Amino acid sequence: MNCSAEKASRKWAYGAFGRTAAAIVTVAVALLLPGALSEPAWAAKASRSAPWGDLFGIYPPKPRAKVQRAAVPLPRPRPADAPAAVQGRPKAEEAAKETSKETSKEAPKETSKETAKEAGKPGEPAPAPQPPPPSACRLALTDAIAIAPSIPDIRGAGGCGGEDLVRLEAIVLPDKRQVSVKPAAILRCAMASALADWIRNDIAPLAERLGSTVSDLDNFDSFECRGRNRIVGARLSEHGRANAIDIRAIKLANGRSISLTDRTVPRDLREAVLHSACARFSTVLGPGSDWYHEDHIHLDLMERRNNYRICQWDVWDPLPQKAPLLPAARPEEAPPREVAAKPDEDKSGAARPAAEKSSAAPADAKSDPAKPEAEPKPATSKPATKKRRHDRRS
């Protein structure tokens, strides 16, 4: 095997490659050597400019910007003529006293005292708002007319409730007697005033004609947040607006109770109550209006278009004491009754003359025992029989 250098260069061509690699390494060293020997500041600056220069380098921190201080306004100096402050007193009390002193100079002493009370101490609840001034109805409904103290307004769901409400406990008659409302009715002031006028001017004179005075008013229902006739989903009743009352009876001082729907009460008395109520209230419902007002009278002041009023109350007559179970007896002077002929009688018309002749015979012939009575002949007609159907298949 020949391993000479000449033949080896022919077999493996590494000589040229080795020379080219050596030349490349020499050029690279020549380019990097001047940069390594340069100043460290320039090297650091060059390394920072490169994107990977901060990976392993440690450099001094950058100086921060100067902090700019904001100008805070200081409070004004205390005037020389101000009173000296007392140690240990809260600032709120001092401010309240200063305010009261300033208002006392402008207003009278009474106003300054009220302002000092309203200021109060810090932490106390705010004073309650003052109620609105009384209405004209409230001023007119005095204790000489009715015992009806005011109550707060009621505000419920769906418009239920009302304003200017009173609790009507009694109605004062002109002679200072009181008509108790049992139980006390919660009504609007206008409705309570109308009810008091009705009792004082209409019912009281009516009771005097009967020889007594009114003592109690039977209140069946007044304010109740519900629909009409207590039907779920119906429109809000006037009872829900505290604008209606249901009355069952009026009691007198002599113990008599006048039920407004009782048929045994004299008709003229009930009609007088009906006419007086329909003249004062916009809605009057009683027996005959519907099935919900058969045992009481409904009164309200509902406002309608064109001042429309409803008065539905039937004054029924009293029922008879004894109900007729059998028809009355036929009078003797009544003409005889005519009975229509039956169709079977037409067929037996031929037998009527013989019967008349037999009835015209003397009584002796009928009662003669020697003559035997004729026996009835057997019927010659055969009873109808059903025909049997023959089997057609046979």
Specify the pLDDT at position 2: 54
Report the Cα 347 to chain-centroid distance in Å: 79
Return the amino acid letter for 196: A
Given a contact cutoff of 8 angstroms between Cβ atoms, the answer to whether 179 and 216 are in contact is: yes
pLDDT of residue 18: 61
How far is the C-alpha of 256 from the C-alpha of 266, rounded, in Å?
A: 13
Q: Which of 202-211, 249-258, 337-346 has the lowest mean pLDDT?
A: 337-346
Nearest C-alpha neighbor of 261 from the set 250, 271, 246, 248: 248
Say what the pLDDT of residue 170 is: 97
What's the pLDDT band for 112 if we cut at 50, 70, 90?
very low
Helix 189-198 with 267-280: angle, nearest 10 deg? 150
| Confidence band, pLDDT 50/70/90 cuts, at residue 323 | low
- Residue 351 pLDDT greater than 60, yes or no: no
* Dist. CA 51–CA 243, nearest whole Å: 89
Residue-level pLDDT at 185: 96
Mean pLDDT over the full length of the chain: 76
Close Cβ partners of 77 (under 8 Å, ≥ 6 residues apart): none
- What's residue 299's pLDDT? 96
- pLDDT above 60 for 22: yes
- Examine the pLDDT at 95 and tell me if it is beyond 50: yes
Alpha helix (H) residue ranges in 78-234: 91-106, 109-119, 136-140, 189-198, 204-209
- In this structure, what token pair is assigned to residue 250? 């009026």
Torsion sign over Cα 270, 315, 169, 167: negative
R_g over Cα of the chain? 60
Residue 49, phi then psi, degrees to nearest 5: -70, -25
Identity of the residue numbered 120: G
Global pTM value = 0.52
Which of 133-137, 188-192, 348-352 is modeled with the greatest confidence? 188-192
H helices of 108-254, in order, are: 109-119, 136-140, 189-198, 204-209
Backbone torsions φ then ψ of 285, nearest 5 degrees: -125, 135
Strands 214-221 and 178-188, bridge-based pairing: parallel
Strand (E) or helix (H) holding 150: strand 150-151
Beta-bridged to residue 155, according to DSSP, are 161
**pLDDT greater than 80 at residue 181:** yes
Q: What is the pLDDT of residue 275?
A: 95
**370 compared with 292, residue with greater pLDDT:** 292
pLDDT value for 273:
95
Q: What are φ and ψ of residue 105, in 5° steps?
A: -70, -35
Residue type, 206: L
Percentage of the chain lying above the pLDDT 70 cut? 63
Q: Taking residues 158-168, what's their average pLDDT?
A: 92
344 phi and psi, to 5 degrees? -70, -25
